[in-house]
Amino acid sequence: MARGDFVDDFWAGVGVDLHLEPDSGEGRRAGLERALRDAVRGGRLAPGTRLPATRRLAAEVGISRNTVKAAYDQLVAEGYLTARQGSGTRVASLPSVAAEPPEAAARAREPRFDLRPGSPDVGAFPAAAWLRALRRAIATAPSPAYDYGDPRGRTELRTALSGYLGRARGVIAPPERIVITSGYVQGLALLTRVLEGARVGMEDPGLPFHREVVRRGGGDVVPVPVDERGVRAEELGDVRAVVVTPAHQYPTGVTLHPERRRALTDWARARGGLIVEDDYDGEFRYDRQPVGALQGMAPGEVVYLGTASKTLGPALRLGWMVLPPHLVDAVADAKLHSDHHTESIGQLALTELIDSHAYDRHVRACRLRYRRRRDLLVDRLGARRGVRGIAAGLHALVEVRDEEEVLARAEAEGLAVGRLGEHWHAPGAGRPQGLVVGYGTPRERVYPEALEVLAKVLDEA
């Protein structure tokens, strides 16, 4: 073997990489000791990190092996490193000067019972099915899947979603009109950027975070009132677009009335307006068949946004937009200049999950689980307060007279819930008050106890 080949092989197999810049001005050994000591003190080398063998580190920094060994021995004596036969040299655990680690402080702040809305039961994530889908996806993925991809997303997933959304949600979704995103928020942000400072109507009450996404994208947010029949289309005014949650309005839980649906689509056709449909939990309907997506009534005027966040889990960062033809290229270009494309392997795994119908099976199982939780919530709370928005979704609205008093009592009991007051575009006297109670988040075994605590809080308020 030529010397050059030996050096290449050596550097390709040195094992643990360690970036050090020892100052040899005070001597090679002292410089290495100081570099290692500073790395441990500064946190660059975490407790338990295994250091390279003395021969390998010596070759890397260009000093003798004996010098490295002497530096290691000195730092072991000082307590910065540990050395055990068979396990090599590792960074020791130093005494912490902090009162408590950040993780412990975060845990201390967590409520005993979490009934806040917005998340599914992530403990029900279909890990085994996802792993099988991931293995099949990796085994069959073509080489280009590991390269930069189409900003619209993988063709495989767009094709699978075209079929799924058509049969499950009534969406007219040709694959060429679908853009894959990293979630609803990115889809809303991309669309706002494309609309270039347009006035955007948003439901009142609605999620404050989504309003902020539109504002930061340059949009001008206009509140549009919501009543017991959904968003009031007659009050849209001169907005360019309106963002709605027709299947299960957030946070009131009302379903958009058929007359309001027609009024919305008539407005869009007559004014050249755009309807942005947030179908965040449309699969979870309990007392009758799911209400079809609004997009099916006016595919040329509606942008449909959906995600896997509520059906599988927010950690996957997979969402989709079904766009009218005239917006596809502009949104794809905005996506390209945002993050180029959504990661590909997760897209292929979701494709496998949909094509094998494992996704449908998981959604049906979740629907049954959440319905049982919904029924238990109504049983425990229905006689105490009005409970609204219970026909679908993962949250309900519980009417109260004084939000602040109820929330203070809940906090004292270690219970976290959402409040209707924070969802209004502008606070004001006379606004309806209520608790936004999520029943997706709690673990199955603690959910009944959480409801008992909530019932106690409501009784005492």
| Residue 296 token pair | 């099916």
- How many CA atoms does the CB half-sphere of 365 hold within 13 Å? 11
Tell the residue number behind the tokens 């677009």, with chain if given: 241
Among 351, 327, 18, residue whose Cα is nearest residue 178: 327
**DSSP per position, 140-180:** H--GGGGS---TT--HHHHHHHHHHHHHHH-----GGGEEE
Question: Which CATH number is 410's domain given?
Answer: 3.90.1150.10
Q: Looking at the structure, do residues 29 and 175 belong to the same domain, yes or no? A: no
Q: Looking at the structure, do residues 180 and 323 belong to the same domain, yes or no? A: yes
pLDDT of residue 96: 57
pLDDT of residue 10: 41
Q: Looking at the structure, do residues 289 and 145 belong to the same domain, yes or no? A: yes
Q: Looking at the structure, do residues 287 and 159 belong to the same domain, yes or no? A: yes
Question: Which CATH number is 323's domain given?
Answer: 3.40.640.10
Question: Which CATH number is 53's domain given?
Answer: 1.10.10.10
> How many whole angstroms separate alpha carbon 34 and alpha carbon 52?
17
Contact 206, 250 (CB under 8 A): yes
Q: Looking at the structure, do residues 308 and 174 belong to the same domain, yes or no? A: yes
Q: Looking at the structure, do residues 266 and 214 belong to the same domain, yes or no? A: yes
**DSSP per position, 176-235:** GGEEEESSHHHHHHHHHHHHTS-EEEEEES--HHHHHHHHHTT-EEEEEEEETTEE-GGG
Please classify residue 165 by burial: count the beta carbons closer than 10 Å to its beta carbon, then call 0-12 exposed, 13-18 middle and 19+ buried: buried
Q: Looking at the structure, do residues 390 and 302 belong to the same domain, yes or no? A: no
Q: Is 379 among the domain residues?
A: yes
- This prediction has a pTM of 0.85
Q: Is 102 among the domain residues?
A: no
- Looking at 305, 324, 357, the residue that finishes a domain is 357
Contact 171, 293 (CB under 8 A): yes
Domain containing 222: what range? 125-357
Q: Looking at the structure, do residues 162 and 33 belong to the same domain, yes or no? A: no
Q: Is 8 among the domain residues?
A: no
Q: Looking at the structure, do residues 145 and 281 belong to the same domain, yes or no? A: yes
Domains in the chain: how many in total?
A: 3
Q: What is the DSSP letter of 94?
A: P
- Looking at 318, 338, 357, the residue that finishes a domain is 357
Contact 450, 442 (CB under 8 A): yes
List, in order, residues 6 or more apart from 443 with CB less than 8 Å away: 121, 123
Q: Looking at the structure, do residues 336 and 454 belong to the same domain, yes or no? A: no
pLDDT of residue 384: 67
Q: Is 6 among the domain residues?
A: no
Among 354, 363, 314, residue whose Cα is nearest residue 156: 354
Helices (H), 273-417: 328-339, 344-355, 358-381, 403-412
Q: Is 299 among the domain residues?
A: yes
Among 60, 298, 290, residue whose Cα is nearest residue 172: 298
Q: What are phi and psi of 99, to 5 degrees?
A: -65, -40
Q: Is 135 among the domain residues?
A: yes
* Chain centre distance of CA 336: 21
In 256-318, where do the E strands start and end?
A: 274-278, 302-307
Q: Looking at the structure, do residues 280 and 318 belong to the same domain, yes or no? A: yes
Q: Is 408 among the domain residues?
A: yes
Q: Looking at the structure, do residues 169 and 280 belong to the same domain, yes or no? A: yes
- What's the sign of the alpha-carbon dihedral 254, 269, 320, 162? positive
pLDDT of residue 99: 46
Q: Is 101 among the domain residues?
A: no
Among 202, 194, 192, residue whose Cα is nearest residue 232: 202
pLDDT of residue 101: 55
- Looking at 333, 357, 381, the residue that finishes a domain is 357
* Residue pLDDT tens, the chain, 461 long: 454 444 444 434 445 678 888 877 778 888 889 999 999 988 889 998 998 888 888 888 888 999 999 999 999 998 999 988 777 899 998 765 444 555 555 555 688 999 999 999 999 999 999 999 999 999 999 999 999 999 999 999 999 999 999 999 999 999 999 999 999 999 999 999 999 999 999 999 999 999 999 999 999 999 999 999 999 999 998 999 999 999 999 999 999 999 999 999 999 999 999 999 999 999 999 987 778 999 999 999 999 999 999 999 999 999 999 999 999 999 999 999 999 999 999 999 999 999 999 999 999 999 999 999 999 999 998 766 789 999 999 999 999 999 999 999 999 999 999 999 999 999 776 789 999 999 998 888 899 999 999 999 998 87
